[in-house]
Amino acid sequence: MKYLTYLFPSIILLSVSFSIYSGQISKVNNIDIWWDSFGEETDPPLLMIMGLNANSQHWPIDFIKELVDKDLYVVIYDNRDTGKSTWINNENFFVKLIKISPNFIKKWFVDLIFGSMVDEEGRFNIEGIPSSYDIKDMSSDAISLMKNLGIDHFHVLGVSMGGMIAQQTAIDYPDNIISLTSWMSSPGFNVEGLKGPEPFFVEAIKQSALLNFQNRQSESILYIYEKQTGSKYNFNRSVYQKRVNRIIDHGENANSGHMLAVGASENRLNKLPNMNIPTLVIHGTEDPLIPFDHGKKTHSLINNSKFIALEGVGHEFVKEQYEFIASEIYNHIINIKGEADE
């Protein structure tokens, strides 16, 4: 089971339009964290946290521009184990052995792992698997990075697993977090009553993993991209191919321990109701990985939170909605500032 992390090369990869940034490295929690920033340092700071196995290049530059144009100071970074930050988990001997084995062995292995990691109700069954770090450690990376940059109070936005990290950061460091935005995320995969991923998407993850074992990473990412797209907007394969090339160039760790970190972490079911940080929750109605009810549950757990449903949207960023979502985040942030000034 400790090798199941390799089966999640792209399940929370998000459509992007990133330029190649220079960025820089800071020593945080005894590891290297790569980060970059946009806008004026005197504007309200917004830390943006990316999802599972996804480096910071997944943030669409056009979306970042929308936020910066609204006078926000945006900070992005590579989570530990991906991008140009420290990789704690790398391709080991067993993975190398699987990759040189016949295809029927690869498929057998993928089916074997998924047979044990998805329960009878179709939910991820990933608890109790050893992990070298968890969501709390990744939350500590986030807060430590901002303190390293001299920013003690800031707004935080997280997508997918990044939303879990953002939630944990708000729970553990309430004096530092001004507001929280949790996008296409969850209070925990093991929360009773919440749906698991759509069956067709579980099969897509398996196919994506198989492509990775065949050293076809670009195809793997493109395949999962298409499967996580909602029905409202068309999938443009040629555009995505260019984006995938830039993502891979930055460093995409197919062997990261992110999924293990999620499984090793407690859910936030009992902690979120005690949190008093202004929160915006955003979720697509056709999300096949983290179904819509996860977003609704997050909203119901957090007092006075606001919920935005994106009709016909999957587990994805949608270019047509950048301006709308950026405006909602900006209004969320500015309204808090306005209340504080009164």
- Tokens matching residue 159: 């997508």
- Tokens matching residue 332: 């969320």
Whether 12 shows a pLDDT value over 80: the answer reads: no
Q: What number is the average pLDDT over the span 5-19? A: 43
- Tokens matching residue 331: 């209004």
Whether 2 shows a pLDDT value over 70: the answer reads: no
Domain spans of the chain, in order of start: 4-341
> What is the structure's pLDDT at 100?
79
> What is the structure's pLDDT at 110?
81
| pLDDT tens string 104-159 | 888 888 887 777 777 777 777 777 777 999 999 999 999 999 999 999 999 999 99
CA distances from 101 to 98, 109, 230, 253, 321 (A): 5, 10, 35, 21, 44
> What is the structure's pLDDT at 8?
52
Whether 244 shows a pLDDT value over 70: the answer reads: yes
Contacts of 233 (CB under 8 A, 6+ apart): 312, 313, 318, 320
- Other Cβ atoms closer than 10 A to 128: 9
> What is the structure's pLDDT at 339?
46
% of residues, the chain, pLDDT over 70: 90
Q: Where are the beta strands (DSSP E) in the chain?
A: 24-28, 31-38, 45-49, 73-77, 154-159, 177-183, 279-284, 306-310
H-helix or E-strand spanning residue 336: helix 322-341
Residue with structure tokens 């430590």? 144
> What is the structure's pLDDT at 221?
85
In the structure, what pLDDT confidence band is assigned to residue 15 with cuts at 50, 70 and 90? very low
Name the least confident of 3-7, 87-91, 289-293, 306-310. 3-7
Contact 25, 84 (CB under 8 A): yes
Average model confidence (pLDDT) across the chain? 88
> What is the structure's pLDDT at 94?
66
Work out the end-to-end distance of the chain between its first and last CA atoms, rounded to an integer number of angstroms: 54
Comparing CA positions, the residue from 177, 188, 194 lying closest to residue 279 is 177
User: Which CATH code is given to the segment(s) 4-341?
Assistant: 3.40.50.1820
Comparing CA positions, the residue from 28, 326, 23 lying closest to residue 148 is 28
Is 316 in a helix, a strand, or coil?
coil
Whether 50 shows a pLDDT value over 60: the answer reads: yes
Q: Which residue has the higher pLDDT, 221 or 78?
A: 78
